[in-house]
């Protein structure tokens, strides 16, 4: 099959969050399984600093936006070290800027135009390839930023034979909701702005339109697929998700790219290890503690929190738990940035702990690997978590995930029993600081038992590769 994946992130070229890792790993795995995969991205300014050799196509891509007129895009081809084919679309004035999604935390005012025109350009590329005799069999869009791709694919093929479209929802809290007045410059047909497609409480909603027009909608864990049809997690679109039914809404758990996340081969850690010999994990712990300027004490557990600082991730819960976590005898390292008020709360909480807890802010990719490699446990007190990758990285590196019972965290972490004979981590129910501290205390107690080594090896031996998820996507691509 020939598959085109449309995304706004792709590791290692452009990465803001887990979307970049997921798209890169899925594309590589499907390609390795014998299919021709191309990923199409906007040409950001950041692409230039990625060191890629870009080949510019001489013929521009023409995009018909209906009543909004015609625009053109320049195409650039590249090949990653992994062998993956990438196409960059240059749309004048829309992506040549420093930020990917925002400028110092403020969303760009022209986001409807940026991602609406990009989606239309992707569909024009699909139509062009079909006219050249090199048609794609499947077009797979990711998240709200490319959610209009299925809409535009239907439009440009105008009822004729077209490729199958798949839309993956990585986080339904982000939907691309804009004033109705934006419809005209996007080239949307006036008749399409109605409650069955774009209209959403007087606005237009990119994700809603994508859900309505994609042949299949997937999301990034089975539990999250079930949660999306509820008021608590559907973010106003629960009725739309429910209306898809089990045939058109499918949850597939994201995996881990072992080429990037494996303690046996990781170039970022000081000493490599694996499930059969974990002795060097202690060296990784001592090294990262020294790097952070913290007390190097092998008897004290190192607890790490890594990710965006926001309410979704439970950063307020973590701030309220800092003192309690330290009182379990643990050292605590927190990395990530985000909402200023929550960052301030974390900074204040950490400052009171006399060096036994640190807040690191934004860290490099390399340091994030070293933190996970050195950690005894990783905490994720999320209010909701569509999939979660950090808990799976933690398991691979022998760090016990301590997670709230929600979304993909429930699908990847089985709560340990009192004797550590079963389970792959530690789970708590309520998003409160007290529940988090109690769960950390339970894990710390378990670390001091003879069964901890066996438990750690069991975690590290879990199969979290992308092979199984990729084969499930292939079945969706091939379905009629």
Quick one: pLDDT at residue 236?
Answer: 97
Shared domain check, 140 and 30: yes
Shared domain check, 199 and 105: yes
CATH number at residue 444: 3.40.50.2000
Shared domain check, 290 and 236: no
- Residue 265 placed within a domain: no
Quick one: pLDDT at residue 188?
Answer: 92
What single DSSP character describes residue 454? H
Q: Phi/psi zone of residue 111: left (φ > 0), alpha (ψ -120 to 50 degrees), beta?
A: alpha
- Residue 471 placed within a domain: yes
What is the phi/psi pair of residue 152, to 5°?
A: -70, -35
pLDDT tens, per residue, the chain with 480 residues: 999 999 999 998 999 888 999 999 999 999 999 999 999 999 998 887 777 889 999 899 999 998 889 999 999 999 988 889 999 999 999 999 988 998 877 889 999 999 999 999 999 999 999 999 999 999 999 999 999 999 999 999 998 899 999 999 999 999 999 999 999 999 998 899 999 999 999 999 999 999 999 999 999 999 999 999 999 999 999 999 999 999 999 999 999 999 999 999 999 999 999 999 999 999 999 999 999 999 999 999 999 999 999 999 999 999 999 999 999 999 999 999 999 999 999 999 999 999 999 999 999 999 999 999 999 999 999 999 999 999 999 999 999 999 999 999 999 999 999 999 999 999 999 999 999 999 999 999 999 999 999 999 999 999 999 999 999 999 999 997
Which distant-in-sequence residues (6+ apart) come within 8 Å of 109 by Cβ? Answer: none
Which distant-in-sequence residues (6+ apart) come within 8 Å of 225 by Cβ? Answer: 219, 249, 250, 251
Quick one: pLDDT at residue 46?
Answer: 84
Which distant-in-sequence residues (6+ apart) come within 8 Å of 413 by Cβ? Answer: 391, 395, 401, 403, 424, 425, 426, 427
Q: Is 67 helix (H, G, I), strand (E, B) or coil?
A: helix
Closest by CA position to 304, among listed 269, 333, 282 = 333
Quick one: pLDDT at residue 432?
Answer: 98
Quick one: pLDDT at residue 53?
Answer: 82
Quick one: pLDDT at residue 234?
Answer: 96
Shared domain check, 337 and 222: no
Q: Is 426 helix (H, G, I), strand (E, B) or coil?
A: strand
Could you give the number of structural domains in the chain? Answer: 2
DSSP assignments along 265-318, one per residue = T-TTSSS--BTTB-HHHHHHHHHHHHHHT----TTSPEEEEES-BSTTTTHHHH
Contact 244, 193 (CB under 8 A): no
- Residue 260 placed within a domain: no
Shared domain check, 354 and 227: no
Shared domain check, 164 and 284: no
- Residue 266 placed within a domain: no
Cα separation, 178 vs 184, in Å, equals 12
Strand 102-103 versus strand 106-107 pairing type: antiparallel
Quick one: pLDDT at residue 66?
Answer: 86
Cα separation, 471 vs 32, in Å, equals 11
Which distant-in-sequence residues (6+ apart) come within 8 Å of 129 by Cβ? Answer: 135, 136
Structural domain harbouring 371:
279-460
Quick one: pLDDT at residue 373?
Answer: 98
Shared domain check, 178 and 81: yes
**Strands laid side by side in the 400-404 sheet:** 357-359, 331-335, 302-306, 377-380, 400-404, 426-428
Shared domain check, 419 and 387: yes
Shared domain check, 442 and 374: yes
Cα separation, 96 vs 76, in Å, equals 14
Cα separation, 38 vs 125, in Å, equals 12
Which distant-in-sequence residues (6+ apart) come within 8 Å of 165 by Cβ? Answer: 138, 139, 140, 141, 149, 150, 153, 154, 213, 214, 215, 216
Cα separation, 330 vs 324, in Å, equals 9
- Residue 53 placed within a domain: yes
Which distant-in-sequence residues (6+ apart) come within 8 Å of 161 by Cβ? Answer: none
Shared domain check, 56 and 30: yes
Which distant-in-sequence residues (6+ apart) come within 8 Å of 281 by Cβ? Answer: 263, 273, 373, 374, 397, 398
- Residue 263 placed within a domain: no
Quick one: pLDDT at residue 68?
Answer: 87
Contact 433, 314 (CB under 8 A): no
Cα separation, 402 vs 378, in Å, equals 6
Shared domain check, 241 and 298: no
Quick one: pLDDT at residue 67?
Answer: 82
- CA 128 → CA 5, 59, 100, 121, 201, distances in Å? 16, 11, 27, 10, 36
- Residue 11 placed within a domain: yes
- Residue 191 placed within a domain: yes
Shared domain check, 343 and 305: yes
| pLDDT tens column, 42-53 | 999 888 777 788
């Amino acid at each position: 099959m020939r598959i085109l994946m449309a995304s706004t992130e792709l590791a290692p070229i452009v990465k803001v969050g887990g979307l970049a890792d997921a798209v890169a790993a899925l594309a590589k795995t499907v390609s390795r399984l014998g299919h021709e995969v191309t990923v199409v991205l906007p040409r950001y300014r950041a692409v230039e600093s990625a060191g890629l050799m870009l080949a510019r196509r001489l013929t521009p891509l023409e995009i018909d936006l209906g009543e909004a007129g015609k625009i053109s895009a320049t195409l650039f081809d590249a090949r990653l070290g992994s062998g993956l084919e990438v196409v960059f679309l240059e749309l004048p004035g829309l992506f040549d800027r420093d930020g990917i999604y925002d400028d110092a935390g403020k969303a760009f005012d022209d986001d409807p135009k940026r991602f609406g025109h990009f989606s239309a350009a992707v569909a024009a590329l699909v139509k062009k390839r079909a006219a050249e005799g090199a048609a794609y069999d499947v077009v797979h869009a990711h998240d709200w930023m490319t959610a209009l791709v299925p809409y535009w694919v239907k439009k440009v093929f105008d009822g004729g034979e077209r490729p199958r479209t798949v839309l993956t929802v990585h986080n339904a809290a982000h939907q691309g909701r804009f004033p109705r007045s934006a419809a005209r410059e996007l080239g949307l047909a006036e008749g399409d702005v109605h409650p069955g497609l774009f209209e959403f409480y007087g606005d237009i909603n990119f994700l809603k339109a994508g859900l309505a027009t994609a042949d299949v909608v997937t999301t990034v864990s089975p539990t999250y697929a079930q949660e999306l049809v509820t008021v608590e997690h559907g973010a106003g679109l629960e009725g739309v998700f429910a209306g898809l039914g089990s045939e058109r809404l499918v949850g597939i758990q994201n995996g881990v790219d072992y080429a990037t996340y494996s303690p046996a081969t990781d170039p970022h850690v000081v000493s490599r290890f694996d499930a059969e010999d974990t002795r060097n994990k202690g060296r990784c712990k001592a090294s990262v503690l020294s790097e952070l300027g913290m007390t190097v004490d092998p008897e004290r557990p190192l607890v790490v929190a890594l990710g965006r600082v926001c309410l979704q991730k439970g950063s307020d819960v973590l701030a309220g738990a800092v003192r309690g976590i330290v009182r379990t005898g643990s050292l605590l390292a927190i990395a990530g940035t985000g909402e200023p008020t929550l960052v301030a709360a974390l900074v204040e909480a950490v400052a009171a702990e006399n060096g036994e807890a640190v807040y690191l802010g934004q860290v490099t990719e390399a340091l994030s690997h070293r933190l996970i490699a050195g950690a005894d446990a990783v905490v994720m007190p999320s209010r909701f978590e569509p999939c979660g990758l950090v808990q799976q990285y933690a398991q691979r590196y022998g760090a016990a995930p301590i997670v709230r019972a929600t979304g993909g965290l429930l699908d990847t972490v089985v709560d340990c029993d009192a004797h550590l004979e079963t389970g792959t981590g530690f789970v708590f129910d309520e998003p409160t600081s007290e529940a988090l501290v109690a769960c950390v205390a339970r894990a710390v107690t378990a670390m001091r038992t003879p069964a901890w080594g066996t438990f750690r090896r069991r975690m590290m031996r879990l199969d979290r590769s992308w092979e199984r998820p990729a084969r499930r996507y292939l079945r969706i691509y091939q379905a009629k």
